[in-house]
Structure 1
Amino acid sequence: MKKIGSYLVMFSVCVLAGCSKPAPDLLTSPDKQLHVKVFVTKQNTLAYSIDRAAQPVVLESDLGLQLTAADFTQGVAIESQSPVAPVTDEYSMRVGKKSKIAYSANEQTFVIENAQQQKLQVTFRVSNDGVAFRYAVTDPVIAQKQFVKETTSFHFAPTAKAWLQPMSVAQTGWSNTNPSYEEHYQMDIPVGTASTLGAGWAFPGLFNTNNNWVLISEAGMDGSWHASRLAHDSADGEYTVASPQAPEVFTNGGLLASGTDKLISPWRILAIGDLPTIMQSTLGTDLAIPAISLKNDFIKPGHSSWSWAILKDDFTTFDVQKKFIDYAADMYWDYTLIDADWDKKIGYEKLKELVDYAAKKNIGILVWYNSSGDWNQTPYSPKSELLTHEQRAAVFARLRDIGVKGLKIDFFAGDGQSMIAYYVDILKDAAEYNLSVNFHGATLPRGWQRTYPHLMTMESIKGFEFTTFSQADQDPVAKHVAMALFARNVFDPMDFTPMAFGDIPNIKRVTENSFELAESVLMISGIQHFAEIPEGMATAPDYVKDFLRELPREWDDVKFIDGYPGKYLVLARKAGDAWYIAGINAEAESKTLTLDLSFAGDQKGVLIGSGETERSFVQQEINSKTPQTITLRPSAGFVVVLK
C-alpha cells in the first residue's frame, strides 16, 4: 500500500477518486499533544496515523475487518463521523498500581461503508496517555457476523526499536502446554525483525520511535472475541494484528470471533509518551469492561506462602503444608497455596483439616486445579473437573463449604474465542461462590482484573519457577525481570512468584538478595505468592522480615523515577501516607543513581540494600529531603520505606 503522509494530498486524492471526505478536524487528546487522523487512502482502504507533539509516532497504518459475509478491508468509504465528544470515567481498583482512577478522553466514531453498502463502525478514544480504538459490526443486513481476519496494523519508522516477547507455537513445550506467554523478551531489536519462533509476538509490545515510547496491547474481552497478537512478519516496521493458531481452542470450540446481532472487538490500546507516562498509565483498565456486580467482601488481596516453587511435587503433603501455614502466620501473610496433586496426596478430608487449622491463624487456603480437558497431556490433578458450568458449580460449592478462599487454575490452551469464553465462564462462576482466582499457564489478563475484581493475578510470564528448572533460565533473569516490568506488568497483575534468599536446588542463583527483595515492591500481583521457603527466610535479618510483614497488599499510587527497559528500574508506590521505593540493576556493571525523594514530602524512613556479600543486607536511616546516592552492583537492588 502506498503511504500518503499529507492530509492535503490525501484530501485531494479522495476528491478525485470520489471517496469520502475525512473529518475536518483532527481527533486530539484533552491536552492537545496527541493527534489522530482517520482517512481513506488512494487505494480506498481505511487508515490512521498518530502524532505526538507534532512528531510522527505511528505512521499511516491499516484499519479493517473481513467477515465471511462482509469485507471492510478494501473498497471502503467514510460514510459519516460523529462529533468529537468527551468521555470521562472514574473507578476503583483492588488489584493494580492505583486504587482510584480518573479517565478522560475525546471520542469519535466513524461509520465505514463498503461497496455493498454494508456498514462498520470504528470508534477512537484519545487520552493524554494514549490512543484506543475498536470495531463494531451491528448492521442487521449482515446476518451472520463471522470473523475472517483483521488488517489493523501499527507502522513505525525504520529507525524505531522494539522490545517484544515471542509467541510460542501451539502444542509445543512440556506436555503440549504452549502458548502460555512464557518466553524471553527480544530487547532493543530493529522494527521489522521477524519473530524468533515464527508464531508472532505477544501483547504488550513496547516500541521506541522519535523519542516516544509506545506500549501496545488490547482490553475489553467479554468472551465473544479471540485474543490477538502481533504477526510474525512486520516488513518495513509495520506490525499487523494476528489471530491465534488453530489448536488454541476449548475442545470442539470456536477459534475466531462470531456473532449474530453484533460483533464488537476488544479495544486496541496504545499507551504513548515518555517512560513515566507509560509506566504510570492505566489504559489497560481504563478500556476494560467495568466491574460485574458481586459481593466483594470476600475479595482480599494479600501475600501467600507456597511450597512448590522451590520444593516441587514431593512436598505437597499434609505435614509440609501445615508447616507453610505456620510460616505464613509468622510472616503475617494472608494465604498458603497448596499446589498440584493435593487431591491425591492430601485429599478433601485432610484439606478440610488444613483449612480449619489455617483459619485459627487467620490464614486462607488456596488450592490448585488443572483447567485441562484433552487439549494437552498434563498429568496433574484435580483435572477435567471445571469443564462445564455444572462441574464448576459442584466443585466451587464444595470448596466454599470447606472454607477454601480461592483457586489457582493452570494449563489453558491459548487464545481462541472458545478458550477466552472458558476463562470468562470460570470467573463468573467463581464469583457466585466467593472464590478468588489465579490463572496459570494462561493468556494475558487484558484488564480482566477490573471486570472481575476477584481475579487476583495471572501468570502469563516466564516466572520464577523457570529459574529453578535450568541454569539457562536463571542466568538472564535480572534482565528478564527488568524487561517484564516495562511491558507485561504495566497494565496487568503478574504472578511471577518472586523472591528467594536461600539456595535453589541444582541452580546457582545469580541475583543478589537485595534484587530479590526489591521484586516484592516492583511487581504488581493481587496475591503475591512468595517463592521463598521457611529455611531461606530464616537467613534474612529481622528488619527484612519486618519489611515483608508490613508490606502493603494494595497500592494507591505509582511514580516512575528512573529506568530503561531490560536494564534498570526505580519505581515508587504509595499506600496510605507511606511511600515504598524499589530499584534493581540488571546491567553487567555497577550503576550509581542519585534519587530525589522530595515528592514524598517531609518523611523519614529506612533504606535496605546489599551488604558486603551478595546474600547479605544492610539497613540505614534516610529522609526524603536529602537526595540519596545509591550504587547498585550488577543484579542488585534496594528498597526504601518513607512514612
Structure 2
Amino acid sequence: MRKVILSGMLCCALTATFTIDAVAANSALVSPDRRISVALFIDAHDQAQYQISHDRQPVLLASGLGLALSDRQFLNNIRSIKPSDITEINEHYQLYSGKQSQVDYSANQQQFVLTNDKMQQLEITFRVSNDGVAFRYRALEDKRIDKQSPKPVSVVEEYTRFNLPQQSRAWLQPIAEAQTGWEHTNPSYEEHYQMDIPVDQPSTSPAGWVFPALFKIGNKTDNTWMAITEAGVTANDHASRLQARSPKGEYAIGLPMAAEVFTGKALLSHDTLPLQTPWRVIAIGSLATIADSTLGTDLAEPSAMDTRFIKPGIASWSWGLLKDDATVYSVQQQFIDHAADMHWQYTLIDADWDQKIGDDKLKQLVDYAAGKNVGIWVWYNSSGAWNTTKYSPKSRLLTAETRQQEFAKLHNLGVKGVKIDFFAGDGQSMMAYYHDILNDAAKYELLVNFHGTTLPRGLSRTYPNLLSAEAVKGFEMITFFQEAADKEASHSAMLPFTRNLFDPMDFTPTTFNDIPNIKRKTTNAFELALPILFVSGIQHIVETPAGMKTVPTFVKSVMQQLPTHWDESRFIAGYPSKLAVFARRAGDTWFVAGINGEAEAKTITLDLSFLQTMGGNIEMIVSDGERGFQTHKVVLSAKTEIKLQGNDGFIIRITPKS
C-alpha cells in the first residue's frame, strides 16, 4: 500500500502496511485530549483515505475520500497531498433550542490540499475535538483556467466512505422514497428505526438511511459509540444521507432522489469555484459522550441574526387530539385560555385557519391571546406542485414577493410564529427554500417550526428563529396507527440518541388520557417525562383543557412550570430503545427524566451524586398503576434506585428553597 502520512509539514510517501497505531502518536491529527486520532494517506489505487482511532483502537478503518464535480473529479487520480500547519479552533455560541444554552467548542484543525493528475486541487479541512471528527471538501480554483472565465460547477458524486469494523452494530432509520405516502408527501423522516442490526444489513428503502446514524463499534464488550451526521448545509447545497447498502460495514454518502426538489429547480449542490461542501460530522466516544455532544451545531454556520425577538416556549395545540374540526374560533379561544391557565407562552392554530377563521377573526384571537400573555402561531402549507396536499394556506410562500407579503401581514396582525409543513425533501433547491423562509421570517420577527421536513442539520444555530422541526415519527402517528402506539416506548427511548441528538425535535408529546380508536401502551408517568426528555425550542403539548383537569394538582404544577429552554444537560443512564435518563437544568432548577423503552419492569440504579449539593426541594413523580401518579421520596446518591413498570417513566425535580 502506498502511504502518505500527513501532519504539520510532514508529507512523505512510503511502501508499508498502514496501521493506525504506527502514526497516531507522532503524525496524525489528534484531539485536544489526544484520545481521538485521524490519519490520511493515499492508497495503492491513488485514492485519498482516512482512518480514525479512539484510545488507540480503530473506530473507522481505511475509508475513502473524494469528490466529483461537473468539470473535474478527485478519486483514483490523487498525486499528492500537502498539509497545512495545525491550528486551534475555539468558539463560543448561544443556543435557544438546544440541550444547553451556552456552548464552547474546541478542536484542532488542519487543511490538506489534494492534487489530481490534471493539477486541479481539492482542499479537505479536518477538525478533531474531544467528542469527534468533522471534515469538509473545498474544490479550489484552477488559476490557469478558472480565473479567466469563472463558471458554475455542480456536485456529481461524493466518494466519502465510513468503513466500520464488521462486528459493529447499527441503529438506523430508513428514509422513505420520494413521492410515496399520503398525498405524495415523502420523504419526511418519519419512519421507525431499525435497532441493533448488523452493519452490513441494507435499508428497507432504496433511498437509504437518514442522519444521524448511530453505531456501537466493535464487539459486545466494547463501549465506543459513533454517530454520523452532517452540518453547515448552505442554500447552495443539497442534504445527504447514507446509501442503502453497506457491504462489509462500509457506508457511503448518498444523494437525494430526483423528485426532492422545488419544482423545476436544481437537485445537487452548485456554485462557482471555490465550491465548499457541508461538514461530515462523526461523534465518537462513550454513549455519554455521544449523548452530551453538541457537534451537530458546533459545525453549523454562526448566526448573524438580531435575536431580541426570539422567545422559546410551551404551546397549547388543539389539532393533536381533536384534529381538523377543532380549527374554529371558539375552540381556539378555549386553547388560548388553556395556555394562559397553564402559564404557557403560545397557542398554535393549525391547518385551514384561513378558511375556517380568516384574517379578521385571527386578529381578534391574537388580541385576545395578547391580553392573556399568550402568543399565536399559525400553520402554512409550503408546497407547490411537489405534492397533492389540499390544506391551506397553500402556495403563499413559494416566491420571495408573496412570502414577504404574507409574513408582513402576520407581523402586523401580531402573530409570533409560523409552522410550515409538507416540504419535498433534500434537493439543493429545497434546502435553498428553507434558508429563504428563515431569512424572510427573521425580517418580520417570526419564529419558525418546520413540519413534513428534513433534519435541521444545525440550522437552529445559524437561524435561531428556527425553534423546532418535526422530522420524526411523532405523536400524530400514534393517533393514526396502533403500530406506532405499540412502539411508542422503544421509539421514544431511541430519539435522544438519534433524531434529537443535536437538533430540536417537535414530537408534540404528552397526553394523560385516551386517544380515540387507539390503545395506549405507555403510563402517564412516561408521558410526563417526555417534554423534559425531548428537546425543542417550542414544545407543543397535546393534552386538551378537559384532559388536563383529570390530573393531580402536583402533576399540573409540573406542567405549568415546564422550562422553555435548557441551560445544561447530562446523560445519566440508558441504552438506545431500552432506557433513556437525562438530567437537565433551567436556571437553578434541575429535572431528571427517564423512560423505560421496554415492556418489562426493571429497577435502575442511577448516579445522582452531583445533585446532592444542590439543596432545595426534591420532588419525585412516578406511576401509580398505568394511569395514576404518586409522589415518592427519593435520596439523591451515587446509587439511587428507581423501580419502573414496563413502558413507564419518572421525573425528579430539584428546586432551590425559597
TM-score (normalizing by structure 1): 0.96
Q: For residue 80 of structure 1, report the CA deviation from its aligned partner.
A: 1.1
Listed one character per residue, the Cα deviations across residues 159-206 of structure 1 (whole Å, up to 9, x for unaligned) are 000000001000000000000000000000000110012210000000
For residues 73-222 of structure 1, the aligned pairs below 5 Å read 73-140=75-142, 141-142=145-146, 143-210=151-218, 211=222, 212-222=224-234
Q: What does residue 291 of structure 2 align with? A: 279
SS of 1:420 mapped into structure 2: helix
Change (3 A) 1:280 1:401: same
Q: Secondary structure of 1:297's match?
A: coil
Cα-to-partner distance string for 1:497-528 (whole Å, 9 max, x where unaligned): 00010111100111100000000110000000
Alpha-carbon separation, structure 2, partners of 1:183 and 1:599: 37
Q: Give the Cα–Cα distance (whole angstroms) in 1 for the partners of residues 251 and 181 of structure 2.
A: 26
**Which has the higher mean CA deviation after the structures are superposed, 98-107 or 598-607?**
598-607
Distance 2:2 2:165 in 1: 12
> In the alignment, is the contact (CA less than 8 A) between 2:510 and 2:527 conserved in 1?
yes
Matched, 1:345 2:356: yes
Distance 2:35 2:24 in 1: 20
Q: TM-score, normalised by structure 2?
A: 0.94
- Alignment partners' CA distance in 2, 1:136 and 1:472: 45
| 2:400 maps to 1:389 | yes
**RMSD (Å) for aligned C-alpha atoms:** 2.0
Which segment drifts farther, 433-442 or 550-559?
550-559
Contact 2:68–2:75 (Cα < 8 Å) also in 1: yes
1:18 alignment partner in structure 2:
none
Instruction: Tell me the alpha carbon deviations over residues 431-472 of structure 1, each in whole angstroms, 9 at most, x when there is no partner.
Output: 000000000000000000000011100000000000000111
Q: 1:14 offset after TM fit, Å? A: 8.3
Counterpart residue type for residue 117 of structure 2? A
Tell me, in whole angstroms, the C-alpha distance in 2 between the residues paired with 1:300 and 1:441.
23
Q: Specify the alignment match of 2:20 in structure 1.
A: none
Partner deviation per Cα, 1:541-576 (whole Å, 9 max, x = no partner): 111111111121111111111000000011000112
Q: Which amino acid aligns with 1:216?
A: I
Q: Tell me the CA shift for residue 262 of structure 1.
A: 2.3
Structure 2 CA distance for aligned equivalents of residues 39 and 518 of structure 1: 48
Match of 2:628 in 1: 616
Counterpart code for 1:82: S
SS at match of 2:501: helix
Name the structure 2 match of 1:231. 243
Partner of 2:453: 442
Distance (Å, rounded) in 1 between the aligned partners of 2:543 and 2:140: 52
* Deviation readout 1:89-124 (Å, 9 max, x if unpaired): 111111101111111100010001111100110000
Are the aligned partners of 1:316 and 1:341 in contact in 2 as well (CA < 8 Å)? Answer: yes
1:328 matched to 2:339 = yes
In structure 2, what residue type is equivalent to 1:610? V
1:633 aligned residue = 645
User: Which of residues 451, 457, 462 in structure 2 aligns to 1:451?
Assistant: 462
> SS of 2:173's equivalent?
strand
Letter in 1 for 2:78: V
Matched residues in 2 for 1:220 and 1:525: separation?
20
Q: CA deviation at 1:626?
A: 7.7
Higher mean displacement: 582-591 or 489-498: 582-591
**2:70 matched to which residue of 1?**
68
Matches within 5 A, 1:575-590: 575-590=586-601
Higher mean C-alpha deviation, range 416-425 or range 204-213: 204-213
1:518 aligns with 2:529: yes
Q: CA deviation at 1:251?
A: 1.1
Compute the displacement of 1:22 (Å).
Answer: 13
Gap change, CA 1:144 and 1:115, over 3 Å in 2: farther
Q: Distance in 2 between matches of 1:6 and 1:389?
A: 49
CA distance in 1, matches of 2:638, 2:117: 67
Give runs of aligned pairs for residues 398-477 of structure 1, distance below 5 A: 398-477=409-488
Aligned length: 635
| % identity of equivalent residues | 52
How far apart, CA to CA, are the structure 2 residues paired with 1:334 and 1:577? 20
Q: What SS does the aligned partner of 1:198 have?
A: coil
Secondary structure at the aligned position of 1:548 is classed as: helix
Deviations 1:204-231 (A, max 9, x none): 0000113210000000011111000000
Matches within 5 A, 1:234-249: 234-249=246-261
Q: Hey, what's the Cα distance between the residues in 1 that align with 2:2 and 2:360?
A: 67
Give the distance between the partners of 2:74 and 2:5, measured in 1 at CA: 23
Return the alpha-carbon distance in structure 2 between the equivalents of residues 483 and 626 of structure 1: 25
Q: Aligned pair in 2 of structure 1 residues 5, 621: CA closer, same or farther (>3 Å)? A: farther
Distance, in Å, in 2 between the alignment partners of 1:235 and 1:535 is 53
Contact 2:225-2:290 at 8 Å conserved across structures: yes
Contact 1:567 1:585 in 2 (8 A): yes
Superposition deviation, residue 610 in structure 1? 3.5
Residues 1:503 and 2:493 aligned together: no
The answer to whether the 8 Å contact 2:98/2:536 transfers is yes
Deviations 1:126-165 (A, max 9, x none): 0000000000113144543211000101010110000000
Aligned to 1:314: 325
SS of 1:365's equivalent?
A: strand
- TM-superposed CA distance for 1:623, in Å, is 4.7
Q: Provide Cα deviations, 1:10-53, integer angstroms capped at 9, x if missing partner.
A: 953389xxxxx999721000000000011111110011010000
Deviations 1:39-97 (A, max 9, x none): 11111001101000011101110100001110101110334110111111111111101
Counterpart secondary structure, 2:528: helix
CA distance in 2, matches of 1:146, 1:550: 50
Distance 1:226 1:611 in 2: 46
Q: Is the 8 A contact 1:78 1:110 kept in 2?
A: no
Question: Is the alpha carbon distance of 1:162 and 1:215 closer, same or farther for their aligned partners in structure 2, counting shifts above 3 Å?
Answer: same
SS in 2 for 1:189: strand
Whether the 8 Å CA contact 2:514–2:520 is kept in 1: the answer is yes
SS of the aligned residue for 1:488 comes to coil
Counterpart Cα distance in 2 of 1:271 and 1:404: 38
Instruction: Please list every run of 5 or more consecutive structure 2 residues that lacks an aligned counterpart in the other structure.
Output: 7-11, 18-22
- Give distance in 2, aligned partners of 1:330 and 1:641: 21
Shift of 1:394: 0.3
- Answer whether contact 1:512 1:610 (CA < 8 A) is retained: no
